Chain A
Amino acid sequence: DTGVSQDPRHKITKRGQNVTFRCDPISEHNRLYWYRQTLGQGPEFLTYFQNEAQLEKSRLLSDRFSAERPKGSFSTLEIQRTEQGDSAMYLCASSIGTSADTQYFGPGTRLTVL
């Protein structure tokens, strides 16, 4: 499968714990996006990378959230001191890098914070 992959697919954690998710984009894609999706809502933009540079971070993200994309390849999203409100589906997408190009989504990581 040469599509976007995400790991893990499911994560259950206790409140206060730290979690890290990984996204592997399509290999030739320069852009990488993270979204959060809660029940009954569409994906909400969290952050965006152009190669290894993080160009925008949503105001939705608190200081507990951080994302990296070392070497412009895979990306990680870390949530520190998780809260029950962080329970959601976290989606990763990648695109080639032209203006408003098609984003290819991964299957998502479902986080449940107990």
Chain B
Amino acid sequence: AQRVTQPEKLLSVFKGAPVELKCNYSYSGSPELFWYVQYSRQRLQLLLRHISRESIKGFTADLNKGETSFHLKKPFAQEEDSAMYYCALINTGGFKTIFGAGTRLFVKA
């Protein structure tokens, strides 16, 4: 079954500390992985996608096919990073997107 698991509902870190939001997936093919973010009172938006291999707002994510993981990392968290983060996958060439339950990141001053 296709599934995205985000084991942490809430992650709280201090400003300047490293942060890692975990994402594991279950999929038989070769999915494409994404991280979406929702800031307070804003709509859901794309943060980054693995195919782009880019760093957005200091965040990076590496696809580990062996461990079927796509963890989101940032070396130094900022208060403005506080938001809801969703990991998602879509089958290559497809359109059905499967989202994880989300992790709320709270960065304390």
Specify which of B9, B49, B95, B100 is in contact with A48 (CB 8 Å cutoff). B95
Give the segment of A12-20, A39-47, A79-87 that binds chain B: A39-47
Asked whether any CB of chain B lies closer than 8 Å to the CB of A105, the reply is yes
B88 close to A42 (CB less than 8 A): yes
Looking at chain A, what size class is its interface with the partner chain? 20 to 34
Please list the residues of chain A having a beta carbon within 8 angstroms of any beta carbon in chain B.
Answer: 3-4, 31, 33, 35, 40-45, 48, 50, 55-56, 91, 93, 99-100, 102-108
Looking at chain B, what size class is its interface with the partner chain? 20 to 34
**CB contact under 8 A between A42 and B46, given known A100-B51, A100-B90:** no
Known: A48-B96, A93-B44. 20 other contacts (CB 8 A): A4-B43, A33-B95, A41-B102, A42-B4, A42-B88, A42-B99, A42-B101, A43-B97, A55-B95, A56-B96, A99-B92, A99-B93, A100-B32, A100-B49, A100-B90, A100-B93, A102-B49, A105-B43, A105-B45, A106-B43
CB distance from A2 to the nearest CB of B (A): 13
Residues of A within 8 A of B95 (CB): 31, 33, 48, 50, 55-56
Residues of A within 8 A of B51 (CB): 100
CB distance from A30 to the nearest CB of B (A): 11
Residues of A within 8 A of B92 (CB): 99-100
